[in-house]
Structure 1
Amino acid sequence: MKMGITMFVSLYTTRLVLNALGVDDFGIFGMVAGVIAMLAFLNASMAAATQRFMSYAEGEGNREKQRIIFNISVVLHLAIAVVVAILLYAAAPFLFGHFLNIPEGRIFAARCVYWAMIASTVFSMLGVPYEAMLNAHENMLYFAVIGVLESFLKLGAALLVVHVLADKLILYGVLMAGISILAMTAMLVYCHRNYAECVIAPLRYWKKGVFREMGSFACWNFTVSASSMLSEYGVGIVLNHFFGVALNAAQAVAQQINGQTMAFSGTMLKALNPVISKSEGAGNRRLMLRASLSGCKFAYLLMAVFAIPLILEAPGLLGLWLHSVPAWAVLFCRLQLARTLMEQLFLSLGSAIYAEGNIRLYTLVKTGSGILFLGATYGFYSLGWPPFMMYVAAILFVTVPGGLLALSICVRRLGLSLRDFSFQVLVPCLVPSGATLAAGVALARICPQLSPVPVLFRTCLLLGAFLLFLWFFSLNARERGTLVFLLKSVCGKIQFSK
Structure 2
Amino acid sequence: MPNSPRPEGRLLARNTLINLLGQGLPLVVALAAIPPTVHVLGIDRFGVLGLIWVILGYFGVFDLGLGRATARFVAEAWGRQKQHRIPLILWNAVFAQTLLGLLGSLALLGLVPFLVDHTLNIPVESQNEVRTAFYVLAAVLPLVLVSSSFSGLLEASQRFDLLNAVRAPFTAANYLIPLAGGLAGLGLPGIAGLLLLSRLLMLIIFYRVCVRLFPFIRSPARWSRAELRLLLSFGGWISVSGIVGPVLVYFDRFIIGALLPISAVAYYTMPYEMVTRLWIIPGSFIATLFPAFSYLSTTARKAALETLTARSVRYILASLGIITVFIVIYASDILNLWVGESIARESTLVLQILCLGVLVNSLAQIAYTLIQAHGRPDLTAKLHLLELPPYLLLAWELVRLWGVAGAALAWTLRVTVDALILFLLAHRLSLISPLAMQRENVPQVAGGVLAFSAIASVMVTRGSMLWEQLALLFTLLLMAIGMVWKGFLTQKERRQILGWLKREAP
Q: What TM-score comes out, normalization by structure 1 length?
A: 0.77
How far has the Cα of 1:262 moved from its partner?
Answer: 2.4
How far has the Cα of 1:221 moved from its partner?
Answer: 1.9
2:203 corresponds to 1:194: no
**Corresponding letter in the other structure for 2:496:** F
Which runs of structure 2 are paired with 1:475-494 in the superposition (5 Å)?
A: 475=489, 477=490, 480-494=491-505
Residue-by-residue CA offset, 1:225-254 (whole Å, 9 max, x unaligned): 222134435555555666688666666654
Which runs of structure 2 are paired with 1:2-21 in the superposition (5 Å)?
A: 3=20, 7=24, 10-11=27-28, 13-14=30-31, 17-18=34-35, 21=38
Change (3 A) 1:4 1:235: same
Change (3 A) 1:126 1:8: closer
How far has the Cα of 1:70 moved from its partner?
Answer: 1.0
Q: Distance in 2 between matches of 1:472 and 1:83?
A: 55
Q: Distance in 2 between matches of 1:367 and 1:211?
A: 25
Among 324, 333, 355, which residue is 1:337 paired with? Answer: 355
Q: Decide which moves more: 225-234 or 268-277.
A: 225-234
Q: Decide which moves more: 19-28 or 334-343.
A: 19-28
Q: Distance in 1 between matches of 2:448 and 2:64?
A: 30
How far has the Cα of 1:357 moved from its partner?
Answer: 1.8
Contact 2:77-2:83 within 8 A present in 1 as well: yes
Question: Percent identity between the aligned chains?
Answer: 14
Q: Distance in 2 between matches of 1:426 and 1:263?
A: 22
Which runs of structure 2 are paired with 1:339-358 in the superposition (5 Å)?
A: 339-358=357-376
Determine the structure 2 residue equivalent to 1:413: 429
Determine the structure 1 residue equivalent to 2:242: 225
How far has the Cα of 1:190 moved from its partner?
Answer: 2.1
Q: Distance in 1 between matches of 2:267 and 2:43?
A: 10
Q: Distance in 2 between matches of 1:201 and 1:56?
A: 21
Q: Decide which moves more: 427-436 or 180-189.
A: 180-189
How far has the Cα of 1:181 moved from its partner?
Answer: 5.9
Change (3 A) 1:468 1:182: farther
Q: Structure 2 stretches of 5 or more lacking a match?
A: 1-16
Q: Distance in 2 between matches of 1:423 and 1:105?
A: 65
Change (3 A) 1:293 1:63: same
Q: Distance in 1 between matches of 2:351 and 2:132?
A: 29
Change (3 A) 1:319 1:295: same
Q: Which SS does the other structure have where 1:446 is aligned?
A: coil
Q: Decide which moves more: 42-51 or 310-319.
A: 42-51
Among 438, 458, 473, which residue is 1:442 paired with? Answer: 458
**Corresponding letter in the other structure for 1:473:** G
Give the number of aligned pairs.
484
Determine the structure 2 residue equivalent to 1:467: 481
Change (3 A) 1:130 1:147: closer
Determine the structure 1 residue equivalent to 2:225: 208
Contact 2:113-2:131 within 8 A present in 1 as well: no
Q: Decide which moves more: 137-146 or 89-98.
A: 89-98
Q: Distance in 1 between matches of 2:272 and 2:202?
A: 22
Q: Distance in 1 between matches of 2:152 and 2:25?
A: 27
Q: Which SS does the other structure have where 2:403 is aligned?
A: coil
Q: Distance in 2 between matches of 1:257 and 1:158?
A: 23
Contact 2:296-2:302 within 8 A present in 1 as well: yes
Determine the structure 1 residue equivalent to 2:93: 73
Change (3 A) 1:393 1:92: farther
Q: Distance in 2 between matches of 1:335 and 1:186?
A: 43
Determine the structure 1 residue equivalent to 2:379: 361
How far has the Cα of 1:139 moved from its partner?
Answer: 0.8
How far has the Cα of 1:155 moved from its partner?
Answer: 6.5
Contact 1:33-1:114 within 8 A present in 2 as well: no
Q: Which SS does the other structure have where 1:63 is aligned?
A: coil
2:279 corresponds to 1:262: yes
Determine the structure 1 residue equivalent to 2:303: 286
Determine the structure 1 residue equivalent to 2:4: none
Contact 1:288-1:352 within 8 A present in 2 as well: no
Which runs of structure 2 are paired with 1:106-125 in the superposition (5 Å)?
A: 120-125=140-145
Contact 2:257-2:264 within 8 A present in 1 as well: yes
How far has the Cα of 1:191 moved from its partner?
Answer: 2.0
Give me the CA root mean square deviation. Answer: 4.5
